Chains A and B, each alone.
Chain A
C-alpha cells in the first residue's frame, strides 16, 4: 500500500521574500486592519503572507532576494506617497498597509495587461496549465481584456532552446521577471544566466547568448523551479502533463541527502522537485537528484530472480522461492564443507538503514560470523576510525547549515561542487558573503573560482603528502602561539596534549622542512595556518582525498588535532566535516556493517552491548572481528572464503586492483548479487536477486550530517520485493526466523539496541521532518551540533601523527602519479547515471594531464593514451588540462570499460584497509588500441550479456 505524505506546512508555502537576518526585535504593523507582529526587516509582502493575506506577485519568491521589478505586489501604505512594491518595502512600527482597494487593483490589472499583451494565449495547450503563476495572477487581479491587442511588436515567435535533455527554454513565454537569473546566482551560485539587451529587447540568455548545453549551466534545475510560467519547463511535464499527487522522499545519490517531492501520476514519477522544507537542501537540487531518476524504470532493470550453477552457464529465470532456496542451500553446503567462517556479506551504502541493518544481522545470525562489511570500507572507513579515536564518535560534527557561520572554510581532498553539489552551492553562498577559502588538493577545483567569492588560497600538494601538510599547519599554529589555550585546557586531555605539543613543535614538521615533501611553498602554509586559526570560526570539510590514502586514518586524526588545537569544535560555524560519498555511507556504518562493530559502533568484543544483541536476536555472536572486504578477497584467493552475499555494491568496478578482485570473485562457489542491474560483480554471480530502487521502498537514509531522512515508497517494486524483504526471505531460508512486516519495525529494533538511536521513531521523523543522531533520552529531538559540552570519551584526544610516506612511489618506469575522482553528472560506478541523459555531459572517462607531461610524450587532446601502473594497464582518451600540477594525472571511474581500477593498487590505509585510490605511480604513452584487459572486459561483457534469458533487456549499456 502506498502512503501519501505531502505535508502542507507553513514552510512549503511561498511567502514571497526570504526571512530577514535575525535581529531579535519584532515590529507590529497593521495590514488590512489586522495587527501583525513580525521580525524586524521582514518585507510587507512576507508579513502579509504570514498573516494569511496573499498579495499578487510575479518576480518575488521566498528563496530569492526581493527584486521589485514586476510591480504586481504594489500596496498602499498610509502616509506614504505612491504605491510601493511590498516585496522591497520593509515593515515599520505602526505602519498601516492596505493590500486591496480600487487604486491598487487598477494598477495590478494594468501591469498584467502589459504582460499578457506579449504572451501567447495558448493556456489550454500550455505545459504549465494548472501550474502557472502568470495564469493565477491574471485570475487574481481580474484581468478581462487586453486593450493593446496582440498585433504589435512582440516575442511570440522566439525560438525554443531544446539543447538540455531535461528541460526546454521557451523564450516566447518569458516575462523577464529574472527569477531564473537570480536563482542561478543566489541559489546555485553558477551565474550562467543573464538578462541580455535592454528595455523591450531584454531576454534571458545562457552564457554568452549560447544554448543552455553550451553554456556554464550545470542543469541543477533551480531556474526551472523558479520560473513562474512555462518558459523553463521539465520535458517530462511537457510530455506527460501535470502530476496529480506527490510524496516527500530522500534522494538516493550523494551524501547530502536532499529531500524531494516525487511528483506522480499514478505510479509514474513525472518529476522530482526539491522539497523546500528539506533540512539538508532547503529546496535546492543538482542534475542527478533533480533529473537523473530515469534509471529506475530503465529497460536494463533486472525484474526476475535468476540462478545458475556456474558463471559460464546461461542464467535461468526462476521464482523468488526457488532462487532464495537455491542461494540458501549453496551457502549451507559451503559452510558444512569449509566451516561457518567461509561465507560473508556486504551491506550497501545505497540501500536504507533498515536494509543494511538486516544484512549484517543476517550475517551475524544466519551465517553465524562477523564477516560483514560495507562499501564505506573503500571510502570513509578512516573517518570512522580517526574521529572515534580523537573525538569519540565516528561522525561529522556539524549541520550543513553551520557553514553559513564559518569565517574560514578549509576544503581538503574534496570537490563539493561536483561530488556534493547542493552543499557546494551553500558553501559558495557563504564564500560570496566573504568567508575565506583554503583548498588543499593536488587539483584545481571549481570552488576556487567561485564567482564573487572572497579570498582563496590553493595549497596544491603532491598526492600522498596530506599528513606532512596537516602537521605543518599545526606546527605553525603551535609555534606562533595561535592555539586556543582555554579550549585545550577545558576540553582536551592535558597529558596527550603536552605530548602532541612537543611532537608538533619539532622542526621536521615546519613548513620549511616539509616543503620538499608536499611541494607547497612554506609561506603559503604559514598564511593558511594563520587564516584558519585567526578566522574566528574555522570549519574543515574533507572528502576521499583525505581518506583514500595509506595514511587516511592518520590524516583524519591530524584534521581533528587541528580543530581541537584551535578550539574549532562544539559550536556553529566550525567543526570537522567528512563529506560522505554515497547517500547512506554514514547510515551503513551506523548500522553495524563493519566486521568489528555492532550497530552504533559497539565493538563485538564488548560483552555488554553484545549480550543485548544476543538476547534480542536469540543467538550467540562471535566476539572476534570478522573479515573486511579486502581480507575477504585475499581469503577467497587463498581458498578459505567461498560464499558472498552482496547487497547493492559493484565491488568488481569500484574496488581497487580489478584483476585481483576478479580473481577473488572467480574463486567463489556461491556469489549472491542483489542489485538493480547486471553490474560488473553480477557477471561472477550464481544467484541474481533483483533489487528495488529508492522509489520502490520505505526506510531511512542518514546523510553526511548524521541526518536521518525518511525514504518513502512512491511505486511498487518492479520485481515484487523491497530489498529488506529479500534479505528477510534469505534469512528464513537459512533457518533464522525474521518476520518484519514493515521497515518501521526494523527501525524500532535498531532504536532499542543502539544508544544513539534510542528515541528515533518513524512518527518522530514525520513530525520533525528529519533527525540528526544522537537522538536519545539526553537529546530527544536529535543533535545538530556535536561535542558542545563534552566528548563521548570525556576529553578530546590529541594523537601523534607521524608522516610515513606511501610505498607507492614514482620511479623512472612509472614517473607520474595518478589520482582519481568524480564528476558532477555521474555517480560512483555510474550504474544509475549512465542509464540516464546525464550521459550527455560525461559519456566517457578522460585522462586529464598537464600540458607539460603531454608535450613530453607527444600526446594531444583527444589522443588515446595507454596508462600503466604496477597493477595493470588500460587505455583512456586524453584531455590536456592545467587543473593538474605537472607530474600528476587524473581520471574518473564512472565507466566500467575505462578500467580506472585496473590501474589502482592493493595498497591501503594502515588502520582500516581503505584502498589508496588517490596515489598510483603510472606511465602514459600514446597508443592505437585498447588494453588487453579492456579487450577481455568487452568479450566478457558480451558473453555475460548473452547468458541472460531471451526476455532480458536487449539494449547493451557498456
Chain B
C-alpha cells in the first residue's frame, strides 16, 4: 500500500513536469502514427505476391503489431525515461541519493518517472489491436486467457530492460546498450512464424521476444499452445528474479561515484 502511494506521488510529480511541454505530445502522436502506418504498410507488403506468414492472416498479424506498439508505449513511458537515467546516476554520483532513501533502490531507479511520451503508442496500439481482432472475426477475444501472457510480457520487458540498464554500474558510459536491446525487440513486430527456424530459436530461448507479442497475440486469438501459455509466466518470473539478483550484485559492487 505504501509502495502504491509513493508510486502515485512519483508519477504525479513527473507527469506534471513533462506536461509543461504539451506541444511535444502532438508531434509524438504524429510520429507514432507515422511509425505505425509504416509498420502496417510493411506488413501489407509481406502479404503481397502470395507471401505472408504461414498460419497468420493479415488481420491476425495486425494484432501482433498492435501489441508491439503497446509495448513500445510502455518502453517510451516508463522504461526508457527511468533506465536511461541510471547512466546519469552513476556518472554524476546521484545514485548515492537513491541508495540513502529508505525505499527499495530498484523501485526508485526503475519506476521513478512516468512520462506521457509513450501514450500515443499505447493508444494507436490499442486501436490496431481492436481493429485486427474485429476484422479477423474475434470480436470477443479470449481476454481471460490473454491476461496471463500479456502481464507476463510486461514483466519480461521490464526485466530485460532492467538487466541491460544495470550494466551501467560497471561500464558507466553505455547510453546505447539499451538501444541494442531495443533493436532486438524490434523482431516483435511480426509473429514468430515470419522468421526462419534459427531466428525463432534465438527469439524464444535467448532474447525471448516471442513471449512479448506472439504468445499474447495467439492467446487473444484463442489459439495459443498450452505449453507456450504455461511457459510465459515462468520465463517472466525467471527474468525478473535474474534482474533483481543482478541489481543486488551491482549494488554490492558499487562503491560510490569515485569507484
Tell me whether A and B are bound partners: no
Interface set of A (CB-CB < 8 Å, partner B): none
